[in-house]
């Protein structure tokens, strides 16, 4: 998620808390028992930046906006370089009278390209007593912050991308997209195909989530794929695992590469065979 979209999202939340349905604001935001509802807005915040240092505002909400209110946010399990703005392990956050949102700022400095930095923010135990059960609102007292320092991506040509996995969902085999961007992480042998499934399925009512396929290019022209998940077919993730070499492998014929792997159901954790795609790389 780019930082601009991230901040916009928080802005929309702020508008929602402070301006929606003013005529019925008491009924909507104040529990019938008069209890406040202190909560993080989301369980996870993910930010991607090309900068090596960044500040990330994290929003906390409350349901009753009368008077000032102060709570404490604690940072735990933080990567080196990720900290609260005050440099301490905890920081006081104050809601001003009339405000439904307050912010704590996470700072990440000295990041390395391609590395992800994480930490967990916690609200104190006593705020759980303020949970609003009358409106069935979910109270989030722990939020994970994830910040990735992205590579500087350079053009490495395009490819014709042919998806064979769509046949598992009743679609034609193969489904093809032309001139899909291929990029190189500057100074590395890391490459990515940019959102190939989005390009292929963008014309249907339910396109795939925008995910990239990353690989390493060797001097002899062969490619290798890191173990783990990659492209997303409607909640089913491509899963490459070298332990299952019979199902997870790369077949090369010149500039044509076929990647065979497993398919992981995100909801159940079940693995399926038959996930496969081919790309013909038009190198510059």
pLDDT tens figures, 224-242: 999 999 999 999 999 999 9
Identify the pLDDT of residue 134. 57
Identify the pLDDT of residue 135. 56
State the fold for domain 3-149: Immunoglobulin-like (2.60.40)
Phi, psi of 36 (to 5 degrees): -80, 160
Q: Which residue has the higher pLDDT, 135 or 215?
A: 215
Identify the pLDDT of residue 133. 58
pLDDT tens figures, 74-101: 999 999 999 999 999 999 999 999 999 9
Q: CA 75, CA 250: separation in Å to the nearest integer?
A: 42
Q: Which residue has the higher pLDDT, 208 or 154?
A: 154
Identify the pLDDT of residue 63. 85
Rounded mean pLDDT, 106-110: 96
Mean pLDDT, the chain, whole residue set:
87
pTM over 0.75: no
The domains of the chain are located at 3-149, 153-282
Identify the pLDDT of residue 132. 65
Is the C-alpha dihedral spanning 125, 130, 132, 134 positive or negative? positive
* CB contact set of 229 (below 8 Å; sequence gap of 6+): 237, 238, 239, 264
pLDDT tens figures, 155-185: 999 999 999 999 999 888 999 999 999 999 9
Identify the pLDDT of residue 35. 61
Task: Please give the torsion angle defined by the CA atoms of residues 178, 237, 277 and 171, in that order, rounded to the nearest 10 degrees.
Answer: -80
The three-state (H, E, C) secondary structure of 48-115, written as one string:
EECCCCEEEEEEEECCCCCCCEEEEEEEECCCCCEEECCCCCEEEEEECCCCCEEEEEEEECCCCCCC
Residue 210 has pLDDT above 50, yes or no: yes
Q: How many residues does the chain have?
A: 284
pLDDT more than 90, % of the chain: 74
Rounded mean pLDDT, 252-278: 96
* Cis ω before 174 (30° cut-off from 0): yes
Return left, alpha or beta for 199; rule: phi > 0 is left, psi -120 to 50 is alpha, else beta: alpha
Q: CA 49, CA 114: separation in Å to the nearest integer?
A: 10
Identify the pLDDT of residue 21. 36
pLDDT tens figures, 265-276: 999 999 999 999
Extract the tokens encoding 73. 């946010």
pLDDT tens figures, 36-82: 788 999 999 999 999 999 999 999 998 888 999 999 999 999 999 99
Is the C-alpha dihedral spanning 146, 121, 141, 27 positive or negative? negative
Identify the pLDDT of residue 207. 86
Least-confidence region, from 143-152, 204-213, 269-278:
204-213
Half-sphere exposure of 272 (CA within 13 A, CB side): 15
Identify the pLDDT of residue 138. 80
């Amino acid at each position: 998620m780019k930082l601009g979209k991230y901040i916009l999202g928080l802005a929309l939340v702020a508008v929602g808390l402070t301006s929606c349905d003013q005529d019925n604001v008491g009924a909507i935001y104040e529990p019938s028992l008069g209890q406040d509802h202190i909560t993080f807005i989301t369980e996870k915040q993910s930010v991607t930046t090309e900068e090596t240092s960044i500040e990330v505002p994290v929003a906390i909400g409350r349901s009753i906006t009368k008077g000032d209110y102060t709570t404490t946010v604690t940072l735990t399990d933080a990567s080196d370089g990720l900290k609260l703005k005050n440099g301490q392990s905890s920081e006081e956050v104050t809601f001003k009278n009339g405000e439904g949102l307050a912010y704590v700022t996470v700072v990440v400095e000295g990041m390395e390209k391609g590395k992800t930095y994480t930490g967990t923010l916690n609200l104190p135990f006593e705020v759980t007593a303020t949970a609003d059960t009358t409106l069935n609102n979910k109270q989030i007292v722990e939020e994970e912050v994830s910040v990735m320092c992205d590579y500087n991506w350079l053009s490495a040509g395009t490819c014709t991308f042919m998806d064979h996995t769509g046949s598992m969902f009743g679609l034609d085999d193969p489904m093809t997209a032309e001139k899909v961007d291929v990029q190189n992480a500057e100074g590395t042998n890391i490459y990515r195909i940019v959102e190939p499934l989005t390009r292929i399925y963008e014309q249907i009512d339910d396109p795939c989530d925008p995910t990239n396929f990353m690989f390493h290019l060797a001097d002899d022209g062969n490619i290798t794929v890191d173990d783990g998940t990659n492209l997303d077919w409607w909640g089913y993730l491509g899963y490459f695992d070298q332990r299952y070499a019979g199902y997870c492998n790369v077949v090369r014929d010149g500039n044509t590469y076929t990647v065979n792997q497993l398919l992981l159901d995100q909801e159940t954790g079940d693995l399926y065979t038959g996930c496969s795609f081919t790309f013909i790389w038009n190198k510059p």
